[in-house]
Structure 1
């Protein structure tokens, strides 16, 4: 009986070292998650972009992305913008301007993200269109819509998304996500997505 406390005392540094290792690995995971690059903004029809070329006063101004996803800019002409990140669009514009302006320094800024809207319809307290100024997942969208009504069929929610001109439906079971199960259902919504709560 007297040996046990002594053995415990000898093993105490090992236990404490194990705790420190666990704490440091958890801290590493947190710091890694914080340093992860956030999803880049995808340009949508209806967005207003500010495009400027350094030292070229005639090549700057606000441009709206048309419903077909294109935009028009001096010397560049018509260019597809929708579906591209801001950086991809900036590179495309710079490449086209390179024929007329040596080494153009192009800046593209999203002035208004009017095109990035999500829609929540059906049995929610505040159905409607919601501008998405940041990444919004399904649960957040339901919260923005005031939450489901008492008669909503929570395990039959659908997200309607148009991909390459074709509409597809993505299933969402609220009760599973609410319990912390099958969380990959809680996808980040894209501009134009419609959350249907039957």
Structure 2
């Protein structure tokens, strides 16, 4: 009887041991996973705290980007433009449509306006002409507000002809050299003879002179004197 009881107790102990082992293993696995998760979370927290914020990094990179060059304002160039024969002017007198009109500067440099009559325009800048017209109108319109806009600049132009991308005439708004003129014309076409460029210029005596321009030499700094400043009426020829 005692031996049978011992045998039964051994069987029950072995059975309990077999039932207990898988449960304990599962428990240990769960504990290990929890510990690994906590360690990984701490590592990520330390890494994120040592790394600078993304937004700040983006803002800093934007601040380091250089600002683009701002092109010159065409309106400012027109305000300093010197009026000449052939230019088309839009003259506006505030609240006075009968006096406001568009006029071309005659070859003698004058324009004709209602109430004002003839007035010298050539050789003046728009602001100066505005003041002169307002003074002439004073006896007819008190405190007249006059605006003069040069709509077509025909008196001070240069031309670029031949093997360029955009041949034609261009207003001479500011000091312009041959290289500037070629850039305004869009550069050369494929078969342009850039060493044979020349500038045609009319002299006060009515003759035409030819001024050479070797693009390769000028851009290499060998003959900068050929990069002359253009005058009104000059024509750049690119063969």
Scaled by the length of structure 1, the TM-score of the pair is 0.58
Residue 194 (str. 1) matches residue 232 (str. 2): no
1:99-143 deviations in whole A, cap 9, x for unaligned? 43323221111223344431235xx41596413285443213234
Aligned match of 1:150 in 180, 183, 193?
Answer: 193
Tell me the equivalent position of 1:51: 91
1:125 aligned onto 2:166? no
Q: Structure with the greater relative contact order (CA < 8 A, sep ≥ 6): 1 or 2?
A: 1
The alpha carbon displacement at 1:73 in A equals 0.9
TM alignment of 1:28-177, pairs within 5 A: 39=77, 40-120=80-160, 124-125=162-163, 129-132=168-171, 134-135=173-174, 136-143=176-183, 144=185, 147=188, 149-150=192-193, 152-154=195-197, 157-158=198-199, 160=201, 173=213, 174-175=215-216, 177=218
Structure 1 CA distance for aligned equivalents of residues 202 and 98 of structure 2: 39
What is the aligned partner in structure 2 of residue 16 from structure 1? none
**Whole-angstrom distance in 2 between the partners of 1:91 and 1:197:** 43
* RMSD of aligned residue pairs (Cα, Å): 4.2
**Whose radius of gyration is greater, 1 or 2?**
2
Rounded to whole Å, the distance in 1 between the matches of 2:116 and 2:147 is 14
Give the structure with the larger strand fraction.
1
Which of the two has greater helix per residue? Answer: 2
Gaps of 5+ in 2: 1-68
Partner secondary structure for residue 110 of structure 1:
strand
**Structure 2 equivalent of residue 19 of structure 1:** none
Instruction: Tell me the matched-pair count.
Output: 162
CA contact (8 A) 1:162 1:193 kept: no
Structure 1 unaligned blocks of 5 or more: 1-29
- CA distance in 2 between counterparts of 1:98 and 1:166 reads 42
Is the Cα contact below 8 Å between 1:159 and 1:194 reproduced in 2? yes
